[in-house]
Protein backbone atom coordinates (compact mmCIF):
# COMPACT_ATOMS: atom_id res chain seq x y z
CA UNK A 1 0.00 0.00 0.00
CA UNK A 2 1.14 3.60 -0.64
CA UNK A 3 0.97 5.77 2.47
CA UNK A 4 1.56 9.51 2.67
CA UNK A 5 2.76 11.08 5.90
CA UNK A 6 2.29 14.69 6.97
CA UNK A 7 5.27 15.06 9.28
CA UNK A 8 8.67 13.41 9.41
CA UNK A 9 9.42 13.45 13.13
CA UNK A 10 9.36 10.76 15.79
CA UNK A 11 5.86 9.42 15.09
CA UNK A 12 6.27 9.54 11.30
CA UNK A 13 9.57 7.67 11.50
CA UNK A 14 8.29 5.04 13.96
CA UNK A 15 5.29 4.41 11.70
CA UNK A 16 7.50 4.28 8.60
CA UNK A 17 9.84 1.81 10.27
CA UNK A 18 7.03 -0.70 10.81
CA UNK A 19 5.30 0.07 7.49
CA UNK A 20 8.43 -0.48 5.43
CA UNK A 21 9.23 -3.67 7.28
CA UNK A 22 5.76 -4.84 6.15
CA UNK A 23 6.67 -3.77 2.57
CA UNK A 24 4.46 -0.72 2.27
CA UNK A 25 5.65 2.47 0.50
CA UNK A 26 5.82 5.65 2.57
CA UNK A 27 6.02 9.26 1.44
CA UNK A 28 7.32 11.66 4.11
CA UNK A 29 6.54 15.38 4.02
CA UNK A 30 7.28 18.34 6.28
CA UNK A 31 7.25 22.13 6.31
CA UNK A 32 10.76 22.58 4.96
CA UNK A 33 10.30 20.69 1.70
CA UNK A 34 11.24 17.30 0.20
CA UNK A 35 14.95 18.13 -0.21
CA UNK A 36 15.32 18.57 3.56
CA UNK A 37 14.30 14.90 3.91
CA UNK A 38 16.87 13.44 1.51
CA UNK A 39 19.11 11.89 4.20
CA UNK A 40 16.10 10.52 6.12
CA UNK A 41 14.67 8.92 2.98
CA UNK A 42 18.00 7.40 2.07
CA UNK A 43 18.24 5.85 5.53
CA UNK A 44 14.83 4.20 5.12
CA UNK A 45 15.71 2.69 1.74
CA UNK A 46 13.88 2.28 -1.58
CA UNK A 47 10.34 2.05 -0.17
CA UNK A 48 10.62 5.58 1.27
CA UNK A 49 10.37 8.89 -0.59
CA UNK A 50 9.63 12.53 0.17
CA UNK A 51 7.20 15.05 -1.26
CA UNK A 52 5.30 18.16 -0.32
CA UNK A 53 2.33 17.71 2.05
CA UNK A 54 -0.03 18.41 -0.87
CA UNK A 55 1.58 15.57 -2.83
CA UNK A 56 1.70 13.23 0.18
CA UNK A 57 -2.07 13.38 0.62
CA UNK A 58 -2.51 12.03 -2.93
CA UNK A 59 -2.26 8.53 -1.44
CA UNK A 60 -5.16 6.32 -0.32
CA UNK A 61 -3.94 6.38 3.29
CA UNK A 62 -2.31 9.38 4.98
CA UNK A 63 -0.82 9.60 8.47
CA UNK A 64 -1.12 12.92 10.29
CA UNK A 65 1.91 13.28 12.58
CA UNK A 66 2.46 16.94 13.43
CA UNK A 67 2.40 18.69 16.81
CA UNK A 68 -1.07 19.89 17.86
CA UNK A 69 -0.30 23.64 17.54
CA UNK A 70 0.61 23.03 13.85
CA UNK A 71 -2.58 21.15 12.97
CA UNK A 72 -4.56 24.10 11.73
CA UNK A 73 -1.85 25.40 9.38
CA UNK A 74 -0.95 21.91 8.18
CA UNK A 75 -4.49 20.86 7.31
CA UNK A 76 -5.76 24.16 5.93
CA UNK A 77 -2.93 24.30 3.37
CA UNK A 78 -3.88 20.98 1.76
CA UNK A 79 -5.98 20.34 -1.35
CA UNK A 80 -9.56 19.14 -0.96
CA UNK A 81 -9.88 15.62 0.42
CA UNK A 82 -11.83 13.14 -1.68
CA UNK A 83 -12.23 10.11 0.62
CA UNK A 84 -8.63 9.26 1.47
CA UNK A 85 -8.17 7.74 4.93
CA UNK A 86 -6.49 10.12 7.37
CA UNK A 87 -4.94 8.31 10.34
CA UNK A 88 -4.80 10.85 13.14
CA UNK A 89 -1.84 10.10 15.40
CA UNK A 90 -1.85 13.56 16.97
CA UNK A 91 -2.52 14.36 20.59
CA UNK A 92 -4.22 17.52 21.81
CA UNK A 93 -1.24 18.72 23.71
CA UNK A 94 0.32 22.18 23.61
CA UNK A 95 2.74 24.31 25.58
CA UNK A 96 0.35 24.93 28.46
CA UNK A 97 -0.72 21.27 28.75
CA UNK A 98 -3.72 19.30 27.50
CA UNK A 99 -6.22 21.05 25.23
CA UNK A 100 -9.79 20.99 26.55
CA UNK A 101 -12.14 19.58 23.89
CA UNK A 102 -15.21 19.76 26.12
CA UNK A 103 -17.50 16.82 25.32
CA UNK A 104 -15.75 16.26 21.98
CA UNK A 105 -12.42 14.76 21.00
CA UNK A 106 -9.27 16.03 19.33
CA UNK A 107 -9.91 13.82 16.30
CA UNK A 108 -13.29 15.44 15.77
CA UNK A 109 -11.42 18.72 15.50
CA UNK A 110 -9.05 17.12 13.00
CA UNK A 111 -12.02 15.75 11.01
CA UNK A 112 -13.60 19.22 10.92
CA UNK A 113 -10.35 20.63 9.49
CA UNK A 114 -10.16 17.87 6.85
CA UNK A 115 -13.65 17.64 5.33
CA UNK A 116 -13.81 14.76 2.85
CA UNK A 117 -11.14 12.72 4.65
CA UNK A 118 -12.16 9.53 6.46
CA UNK A 119 -10.50 10.07 9.82
CA UNK A 120 -9.40 7.18 12.03
CA UNK A 121 -7.57 7.85 15.27
CA UNK A 122 -4.73 5.45 16.08
CA UNK A 123 -1.33 5.17 17.76
CA UNK A 124 -2.17 7.83 20.36
CA UNK A 125 -1.83 5.70 23.46
CA UNK A 126 1.62 4.33 22.58
CA UNK A 127 5.08 5.68 23.19
CA UNK A 128 6.95 5.58 19.89
CA UNK A 129 9.96 4.09 21.66
CA UNK A 130 7.71 1.03 22.18
CA UNK A 131 5.96 1.21 18.79
CA UNK A 132 9.24 0.55 16.98
CA UNK A 133 9.90 -2.62 19.00
CA UNK A 134 8.94 -6.10 17.78
CA UNK A 135 5.11 -6.11 17.79
CA UNK A 136 5.08 -9.89 18.35
CA UNK A 137 7.15 -10.56 21.46
CA UNK A 138 6.94 -14.12 22.83
CA UNK A 139 3.93 -15.04 20.70
CA UNK A 140 1.79 -12.13 21.92
CA UNK A 141 0.88 -9.11 19.83
CA UNK A 142 1.19 -5.48 20.89
CA UNK A 143 -2.23 -3.78 20.75
CA UNK A 144 -2.99 -0.68 18.67
CA UNK A 145 -6.32 1.03 19.31
CA UNK A 146 -8.33 2.37 16.38
CA UNK A 147 -11.32 4.72 16.68
CA UNK A 148 -13.47 6.18 13.95
CA UNK A 149 -16.94 6.87 12.64
CA UNK A 150 -16.40 5.28 9.20
CA UNK A 151 -16.45 1.53 9.71
CA UNK A 152 -14.87 0.66 6.35
CA UNK A 153 -12.01 3.09 6.95
CA UNK A 154 -11.51 1.75 10.45
CA UNK A 155 -11.34 -1.81 9.10
CA UNK A 156 -8.74 -0.75 6.50
CA UNK A 157 -6.62 0.88 9.18
CA UNK A 158 -6.99 -2.17 11.44
CA UNK A 159 -5.87 -4.37 8.52
CA UNK A 160 -2.89 -2.07 7.93
CA UNK A 161 -1.71 -2.30 11.54
CA UNK A 162 -2.33 -6.03 11.47
CA UNK A 163 -0.01 -6.23 8.44
CA UNK A 164 2.66 -4.52 10.60
CA UNK A 165 2.21 -7.33 13.18
CA UNK A 166 0.05 -5.47 15.73
CA UNK A 167 -3.24 -6.54 17.30
CA UNK A 168 -5.74 -3.82 16.28
CA UNK A 169 -8.55 -3.16 18.75
CA UNK A 170 -11.64 -1.23 17.73
CA UNK A 171 -12.38 1.29 20.47
CA UNK A 172 -15.48 2.81 18.89
CA UNK A 173 -16.25 6.27 17.60
CA UNK A 174 -13.98 9.26 17.04
CA UNK A 175 -15.56 10.88 20.07
CA UNK A 176 -15.77 8.12 22.68
CA UNK A 177 -13.01 5.86 21.41
CA UNK A 178 -10.86 8.84 20.51
CA UNK A 179 -11.08 10.15 24.05
CA UNK A 180 -10.31 6.70 25.45
CA UNK A 181 -6.92 6.49 23.72
CA UNK A 182 -5.97 10.18 23.82
CA UNK A 183 -3.17 11.64 25.90
CA UNK A 184 -4.32 11.93 29.51
CA UNK A 185 -6.66 8.90 29.25
CA UNK A 186 -6.31 5.76 31.36
CA UNK A 187 -5.04 3.81 28.33
CA UNK A 188 -2.41 6.37 27.37
CA UNK A 189 1.19 5.40 27.87
CA UNK A 190 0.43 1.72 28.52
CA UNK A 191 1.33 -1.22 26.33
CA UNK A 192 -1.18 -4.06 26.02
CA UNK A 193 -0.43 -7.50 24.61
CA UNK A 194 -2.94 -10.01 23.31
CA UNK A 195 -2.72 -13.67 22.44
CA UNK A 196 -3.27 -14.02 18.69
CA UNK A 197 -5.75 -14.33 16.99
CA UNK A 198 -7.78 -12.06 19.27
CA UNK A 199 -11.19 -10.43 18.88
CA UNK A 200 -10.88 -6.94 17.36
CA UNK A 201 -13.47 -5.26 19.50
CA UNK A 202 -14.49 -5.48 23.09
CA UNK A 203 -18.04 -4.21 23.46
CA UNK A 204 -17.53 -3.98 27.22
CA UNK A 205 -15.05 -1.16 26.56
CA UNK A 206 -17.47 0.85 24.50
CA UNK A 207 -20.91 -0.11 23.18
CA UNK A 208 -20.83 2.49 20.37
CA UNK A 209 -18.86 0.75 17.66
Ligand X SMILES: NC(=O)c1ccc[n+]([C@@H]2O[C@H](COP(=O)([O-])OP(=O)(O)OC[C@H]3O[C@@H](n4cnc5c(N)ncnc54)[C@H](OP(=O)(O)O)[C@@H]3O)[C@@H](O)[C@H]2O)c1
Q: Count residues contacting ligand X (CB under 6 A)? A: 27
Beta-carbon contacts of residue 125 (< 8 Å; ≥ 6 apart): 145, 181, 182, 185, 187, 188, 189, 190
Minimal distance in Å, beta carbon 207 to ligand X? Answer: 26
Out of 19, 24, 48, 68, the only residue in the binding site for ligand X (CB under 6 A) is 68
Pairing of strands 93-94, 118-122: unpaired
Residues 93-152 binding ligand X (CB under 6 A) are 93, 123-124, 127-128
Q: Does 50 bind ligand X (CB under 6 A)?
A: no
Residue 186 or 195 with smaller CB distance to ligand X: 186
Given a contact cutoff of 8 angstroms between Cβ atoms, the answer to whether 53 and 114 are in contact is no
Minimal distance in Å, beta carbon 201 to ligand X? Answer: 22
Q: Does 89 bind ligand X (CB under 6 A)?
A: yes
10 Å Cβ neighbour count for 131? 21
Q: Does 30 bind ligand X (CB under 6 A)?
A: yes
Q: Contacts by 104-108 with C-beta closer than 8 Å and gap 24+?
A: 104/175, 105/174, 105/175, 105/176, 105/178, 105/179, 105/182, 106/68, 106/178, 106/182, 107/147, 107/148, 107/174, 107/178, 108/174, 108/175, 108/178
Minimal distance in Å, beta carbon 197 to ligand X? Answer: 26
Q: Which residue stretch of 90-98, 110-118, 149-157, 163-171 sits at the interface with ligand X (rule: CB under 6 A)?
A: 90-98
Q: Does 91 bind ligand X (CB under 6 A)?
A: yes
Residue 96 or 138 with smaller CB distance to ligand X: 96
* 207 three-class SS: coil
Binding site for ligand X (CB under 6 A): 6-12, 29-32, 53, 65-68, 70, 73-74, 89-91, 93, 123-124, 127-128
Amino acid sequence: MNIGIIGAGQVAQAFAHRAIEAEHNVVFSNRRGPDSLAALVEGFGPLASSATPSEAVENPVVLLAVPWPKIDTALRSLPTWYGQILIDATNGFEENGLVDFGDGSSSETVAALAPGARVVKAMNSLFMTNFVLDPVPDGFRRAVFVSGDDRAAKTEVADLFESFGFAPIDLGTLRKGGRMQAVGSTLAGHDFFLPWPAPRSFPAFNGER
